[in-house]
Amino acid sequence: MQAAVLEEDRAEWFEDARFMIQRLAEAQDHFTPDDLRKVMRPAPVGNWTGLVFAQAHKAGDIEWVRYTRSNNKTRRGGSVSVWRKKPEGIQP
């Protein structure tokens, strides 16, 4: 039962997160997982934020720019990736 509930949470959270990544990509030149955390409910599992960015990258929606320092207290100044919308006309 617990696994089924978690799988439903996962599917819903990933769908919402992919939508918000698309919104961030349209609204900002560059964005980080910290920006996603500001506009989304917390991921039920800690690594889901990274996984959803990896999915968006693999789908060709976003591209990696550089690393920067996180502003999120829970990350304690650790590095995070900076992303941007993939320019139109460039194939992955």
Domains identified in the chain and CATH numbers: 2-85 (1.10.10)
pLDDT for 15-53, tens place per residue?
A: 999 999 999 999 999 999 999 999 999 998 889 999 999
| Cα distances (Å, whole numbers) of residue 22 to 52, 62, 69, 74 | 11, 9, 22, 24
| 62 in Cβ contact with 85 (< 8 Å) | yes
For residue 88, pLDDT beyond 90: no
Query: How many CB atoms sit inside 10 A of residue 35's CB?
Result: 20
Confidence of residue 4 (pLDDT cuts 50, 70, 90): low
Query: 64 pairs with which residues across the strands?
Result: 83
Distance (Å, whole) CA 89 – CA 75? 35
